[in-house]
């Protein structure tokens, strides 16, 4: 294919300058042509010298590795984080733990450290050369090379006992945690290197998390999975490799934007990939700050739930929106109310009347259907356009995270028996996003249960007591893995609404 760049030989010839000068092919043209080549030569030399001064240090400096053949990841434009939490240069040590006052926050460049102080989760960190052992589901820390090319005795300073972690954020729920795969961490002996040669070498640390547990339910997918994962590695700015337990196509497809937002690298199916993967570090497990919560004081960079919302917006935003649509959105309009329409249980029986009432007081109403199979990017577009989100307590209200911080409101309708549970699930999250929260607690005579139970039944007299009794009688959930059916697990704690 012919080049679109101009031909340099033509640009420097006398004929070319004659045309530019307008003097034709006479002596005047030759005079101009005699001056300009020297002028161009001067700028050519100046350009070469400038490039040498700017780029030579990058190639000559021994502290900056240059990999011309390796994959190039997009840069965030920000400097990496130093061990002390500040900004630093590319040569600074890798920071694995971004948690304030963590026993592992100041760990050195080689070692294993576990933080088991949290009620909800255990998190372990491995700094140094880490290799996987698929047969035992282990991560092995190898000692660094000595100057003479042999392994030194750095592992002698690492605790010899083996650490074991189940990377899920509900460690208090013993029957569930028994179904989360256990990952082993230990210091390797130098003579084990030949038996664990690297099949795949990564230039970013690993984050070991699970797609099992309750994460088939939307609330738990965010609360137990992606929000804790973001809390744990957001400071690495996508320079991390997700090594996922209980990996399954449904999880990968449903949350592909969030997976891509966390990492620039391909996901590793940890249970089925039998290759030996090598990393410059590893994090096993994820941090947890509370139900849909981010506590700024607990992270070195003072992250908030609004930052997590921005992370979601970055993954789900539609760059194909035409400019005229954006202009229309900026025009004065009536506030929009999104009303979640449930089917089966916890249904608003007078939904049409509620929508008409909202329209009569000045809202444009959007009926949002639940479990409609729409991709989350579509759900994000629908919910983020709302000023108010209304719905009966359930996992779909997790999408309050899609609302615009400081500008929107959530109205949660609590069925009989769960007003405290409902408030505990979502009120704090709306406060952290600086949004308005309102809750409407259904009365006994407003529930469809009045058609099923006599007026003096405990279900109507003391619905919370009936809820607790029902919870105690519920069977244990099936083993985790794949896409579990949540059922009563849709609530954020182990309690269930007792009726519609």
pLDDT digits (tens, 9 = 90+) for 192-232: 999 999 999 999 999 999 999 999 999 999 999 999 999 99
pLDDT digits (tens, 9 = 90+) for 256-273: 999 999 999 999 999 999
E strand or H helix that includes residue 462: none
φ, ψ for residue 391 (rounded to 5)? -175, 160
The CA-atom distances, in angstroms, between 123 and each of 169, 228, 288, 392 are 10, 11, 10, 35
| Residue 99: alpha-carbon gap to chain centroid | 17
Q: Sign (positive/negative) of CA torsion 496, 497, 499, 500? A: negative
Tell me the two tokens of residue 367. 């009926």
pLDDT digits (tens, 9 = 90+) for 376-426: 999 999 999 999 999 999 999 999 999 999 999 999 999 988 899 999 999
What's the CATH class of domain 329-490? alpha beta
Cα–Cα dist 450/444, whole Å = 7
Count of H helices and E strands in the chain? 15, 15
Query: Where do the domains of the chain lie?
Result: 111-145+156-303, 329-490
E strand or H helix that includes residue 133: strand 123-133
pLDDT digits (tens, 9 = 90+) for 369-385: 987 788 999 999 999 99
Mean pLDDT of 483-489: 35
């Amino acid at each position: 294919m012919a080049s679109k760049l101009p031909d340099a030989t033509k640009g420097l010839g006398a004929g070319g300058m004659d045309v530019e000068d307008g003097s034709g092919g006479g002596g005047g043209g030759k005079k101009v042509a005699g001056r300009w080549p020297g002028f161009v030569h001067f700028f050519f030399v100046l350009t070469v010298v400038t490039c040498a001064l700017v780029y030579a240090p990058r190639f000559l400096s021994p502290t900056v590795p240059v990999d011309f053949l390796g994959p190039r990841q997009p840069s965030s434009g920000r400097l990496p984080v130093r061990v002390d939490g500040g900004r630093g240069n590319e040569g600074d040590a890798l920071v694995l733990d971004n948690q304030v006052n963590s026993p592992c926050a100041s760990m050195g460049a080689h070692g294993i450290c576990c933080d088991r102080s949290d009620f909800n989760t255990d998190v372990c960190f491995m700094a140094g050369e880490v290799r996987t052992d698929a047969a035992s589901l282990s991560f092995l820390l190898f000692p660094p090379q000595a100057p003479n090319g042999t392994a030194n005795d750095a592992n002698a300073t690492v605790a010899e006992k083996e650490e074991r972690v189940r990377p899920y954020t509900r460690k208090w729920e013993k029957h569930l945690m028994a179904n989360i795969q256990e990952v082993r961490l230990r210091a390797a002996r130098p003579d084990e290197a030949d038996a664990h040669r690297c099949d795949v070498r990564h230039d970013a640390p690993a984050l070991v998390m699970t797609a099992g547990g309750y994460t088939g339910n939307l609330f738990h997918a965010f609360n137990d999975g992606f929000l804790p994962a973001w809390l744990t590695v957001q400071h690495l700015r996508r320079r991390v490799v997700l090594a996922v337990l209980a990996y399954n196509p449904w999880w990968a497809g449903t949350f592909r934007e969030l997976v891509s937002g966390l990492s620039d690298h391909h996901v590793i199916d940890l249970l089925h990939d039998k290759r030996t993967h090598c990393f410059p570090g590893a994090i096993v497990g994820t941090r947890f700050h509370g139900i849909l919560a981010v506590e700024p004081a607990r992270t070195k960079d003072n992250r908030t739930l609004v930052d997590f919302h921005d992370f979601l917006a970055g993954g789900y935003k539609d760059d194909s929106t035409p400019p005229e649509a954006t202009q229309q959105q900026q025009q004065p309009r009536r506030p929009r109310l999104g009303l979640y329409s449930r089917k089966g249980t916890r249904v608003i029986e007078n939904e049409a009347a509620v929508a008409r009432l909202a329209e009569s007081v000045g809202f444009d109403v959007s009926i949002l259907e639940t479990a409609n199979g729409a991709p989350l990017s579509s759900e994000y577009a629908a919910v983020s356009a709302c000023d108010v989100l209304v719905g009966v307590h359930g996992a779909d209200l997790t999408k309050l995270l899609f609302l615009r911080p400081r500008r929107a409101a959530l109205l949660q309708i609590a069925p009989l028996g769960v007003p405290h549970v409902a408030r505990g699930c979502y009120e704090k999250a709306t406060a952290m996003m600086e949004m308005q929260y309102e809750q409407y607690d259904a009365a006994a005579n407003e529930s469809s249960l009045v058609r099923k139970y006599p007026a003096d039944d405990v279900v109507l007299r003391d619905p919370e007591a009936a809820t607790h009794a029902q919870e105690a009688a519920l069977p244990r959930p099936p083993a985790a893995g794949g896409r579990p059916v949540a059922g009563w697990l849709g609530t954020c704690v182990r309690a269930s609404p007792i009726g519609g």
